[in-house]
Chain A
Amino acid sequence: MAAKPGAATPTYSPKLVGRTRLPIFKDSDLDWSRPDGRGFHQCRPALLQTGAVSSASGSAYAEFGNTKVIVSVFGPRESKKAMVFSDVGRLNCNVSYTTFASPTLGQGTDHKEYSSMLHKALEGVIIMETFPKTTVDVFALVLESGGSDLSVVISCASLALADAGIMMYDLITAVSVSCIGKSLMIDPVTEEEGCEDGSFMMTCMPSRYEITQLTVTGEWTTPNINEAMQLCLDACSKLGEIMRDLLKQAASASEE
């Protein structure tokens, strides 16, 4: 019996029959609760931890509900041979998923879109001048995808960078908001993301009160954007405080 069946063997996962995805709630119905029983403006409890990977210069693990992410930072280390001289540092980002990250997605692959979004979110915060000629690698692995993956990856990456001792202007935090019907929901889970009318993701530097990355999809009115931005800014600054405390604790623990 061969361990690896020939690639020709087709398999399928036993799906539920004849079930269509029902909308979680209807426009007029405001009494519903979110799948995990949270309030509209309530984030999932965040579990953050630094130093998850011993062989990396810095690393962090983040768990927001079912979304579980590990980010490792390597470097600053020698740039690839083919790279030309640069008097500022380089940043290299990669986001990949495990094969079992989500029940529907079959293959675990590199996520090019998220890799470049992560790069864009981080490049403005890292003080590249502090590591000329070298490269800092930020690699993320999404162990389990439970919604708002990118924002968890970005927040986790900034913790890992801090853990690695890379100079930054500020910690960065990212928060997503989904718009379903008339209501805005912060930190959406996969089910909510699946039926959202619009999504809003913002990364910001909470202490400097600056937005480094912002993406909006779907149809939004100006008041909605205002509200979503306020929600995100508020959540970002709270998350930033949690991350700061965590880093302080980790630093004082290592001193002892």
Chain B
Amino acid sequence: MGLQDSSQDLSTEMEVDAFRRIFPLRFFERHLSESLRPDGRQLGKARDTIVNLGLVSTADGSALAKIGSTTMLAAIRMEVMTPSTDSPDEGCIALEFHMPPICSPTVRPGRPADAAPVISKRLSDTILSSGMIDLKELCLVSGKAAWMGYLDIYCLDADGALFDAALLSAVAAFSNLQIPVVALNDNGRIVAITGGKDQDNASITEKEAVNKEKRKLTLKNIPFSLTCILHKTYILADPTTEEESIMDTLVTVVLDSSDQMVSFYKSGGTALAYSPAIKSCVELARKRAKEVKQILGEMDID
């Protein structure tokens, strides 16, 4: 503990920035003892959250989610596939989470980030197990054709709580998704129809249209997540990259719209999660879900 003692003495003499760099843990603990975080937030408070819909014109549905500085861009492109024989009347969602080199100093081109496939897997597990999307809605012709939704989430700026931001952007992108108008042609392939301008498409009779008008997916049981840091007796909601690098026990709680738990994830770390801690995490997540619901609700009116 000699180091900590010496840092105690130094703290009065050193500049704040230097102290923050040299003794990050002491710096944070000083803040935590005052129930405040370096960025001025209270412990249980998440950062400002912004969601924008439909920014990518080349995609069928897209959304940009920003939690603090963490920025995610999600886009969905719909393609047609032949459903598997096990589930002939179900479509499919293929999700991929990307961390391009622009998002963080730790990612270099040619070497994908370690975190990306982990988050990718957790996201697709969460989205499918929450039952938000009824895959049967993606069916076009039973056994013949169904929609495959390619959901790509790009992290544009990584500043902690990547999973929360990615899930939020994914949910928002699904709410923005417009399933294109298509018809079945003579060869049994699905073709697109544009608003009747094209004369070539006149050959497709109206009755063949499988999907007559642009429609939206019905989203039920929307999942909301909150990541918290456990450190000693403190619980910090919505951590930044700096906080994540100093204190390494992360807990992610995913709740659905009716406050049912969808998933709970604790990634090891030095601190142990006792039941009171878990309970308070869930409580924080519940509050956060309400906030996020409101933000998404405002979007849906547009």
List chain A positions with a Cβ less than 8 A from chain B: 1, 3-5, 9-19, 52-56, 59, 66, 70-72, 74, 77, 94, 96, 98-103, 108, 110, 137, 139-141, 143-144
Contact = CB atoms under 8 A, between A and B. Distances in A.
Contacts of A15: 191-192
B58 A53 contact: no
Contacts of B185: 17
Given A55-B103, A100-B56, A110 B92 contact: no
A102 B57 CA distance: 9
B90 A1 contact: yes
Interface residues on B, range: 35 or more
A52 B192 contact: no
A146 B73 CA distance: 17
A102 to B, nearest CB: 6
A172 to B, nearest CB: 19
A3 B100 contact: no
Contacts of A137: 101, 108
B5 interface: no
Given A1-B92, A3-B124, A16-B198, A96 B103 contact: no
Contacts of B159: 54-55
A213 B170 CA distance: 40
A222 to B, nearest CB: 38
Interface in B177-195: 180, 182, 185, 189-192, 194
A100 B135 contact: no
B79 A4 contact: no
Contacts of B198: 16, 19
Given A3-B95, A11-B148, A100-B75, A143 B201 contact: no
Nearest to B148: A11
Interface stretch (B80-88, B248-256, B282-290): B80-88
Given A1-B87, A17-B191, A144-B57, 10 more contacts: A3-B93, A5-B94, A12-B79, A14-B79, A14-B190, A14-B191, A14-B192, A110-B109, A139-B101, A139-B102
